Copies of this chain bind each other. A is one copy, B any other.
Amino acid sequence: MTAAATETVDAFHRGKFHVVQPLGQGHRSGMDAMLLASLVSSDRLPCRVADLGAGAGAAGMAVASRMDGAEVVLVERSPIMADYARRSLKLIENARFAARVSVLEVDVSLAGKVRVAAGLADDSFDHVIMNPPFNDASDRKTPDSLKAEAHAMSDGLFEVWVKTAGAIMKPGGQLSLIARPESIAEIIAACGRRFGGIEITALHPRVGENAVRILVTAIKQSRKRLVLRAPLVMHEEGHRFADHVDDLNNGRAAYRRR
């Protein structure tokens, strides 16, 4: 008998870094995490980046891998997923940036002094990124409880996560997130008066098709008004990725704010 594989080691950024991920349970990171990471860019380095609900850490590690001056804190409440993140950071393939990445096993929904005591201080990050658990009926059907936890964002959780992001971010800091289009109003409402200058980019699989994701950035305490940017189209013709989307997916470029 051979033991069934329970995890995989997946290459990202065309092999520039690797992530240990559970197989058949828990959320597995892919393109969403890479596009989220592409939203982070900074002309002022070093900069501190928090990845809220980091899971196995793919998005935060993608930022650390692309940006030499980025210090990244992976915030994850699941001990199992946090352990995957810690093991990824021990991989020789990730040695180039592992010293700049740490894992904080904390629930994003903690507030006030409890949050600060847990290691998430006020006004301490230049960037906060999040790939929040998606609230989607088809995902909720999953029998896998670890995956269900990652995917089942109950009503109001955007509000809680964005509130935490606003608290731990420096004034002028940037919130970045990826979500499903149907969450757009909930996200804007959660930004409320905490964030302004919201920029939303729809991600369409092909020309003429409905969006499958939205990329959102916002600036703490900004009063600039919301803009809908030109969309990203993943496959411009056939199955091949459009060059500029491929660059974002593989850490060769950042998707900069306007």
Measured CB to CB, the residues of A under 8 A from B are 181-182, 184-185, 188-189, 202, 204, 207-211, 214, 225-231, 258
Contact = CB atoms under 8 A, between A and B. Distances in A.
B227 A211 contact: yes
A71 to B, nearest CB: 32
B202 A231 contact: yes
A228 B232 CA distance: 13
Contacts of A226: 181-182, 184-185
Nearest to A210: B227
Contacts of A181: 226-228
Q: Name which of A188, A225, A230 has the most chain B CB atoms within 10 A of its CB.
A: A230
A231 B233 CA distance: 11
A185 B228 CA distance: 12
Given A182-B225, A182-B226, A230-B231, 5 more contacts: A202-B231, A209-B230, A210-B229, A210-B258, A211-B227
Contacts of A185: 184-185, 188-189, 226
A19 to B, nearest CB: 29
Contacts of A231: 202, 230-231
Contacts of A211: 227-229
A207 B229 CA distance: 10
B208 A230 contact: yes
A207 B184 contact: no
Contacts of A258: 210
Contacts of A230: 204, 207-210, 231
A225 B228 CA distance: 20
A208 B226 CA distance: 16
A219 to B, nearest CB: 15
Nearest to A183: B226
11 contacts: A181-B226, A181-B227, A181-B228, A184-B184, A185-B189, A185-B226, A189-B189, A202-B202, A202-B231, A210-B258, A214-B228
A198 B258 CA distance: 28
A156 to B, nearest CB: 14
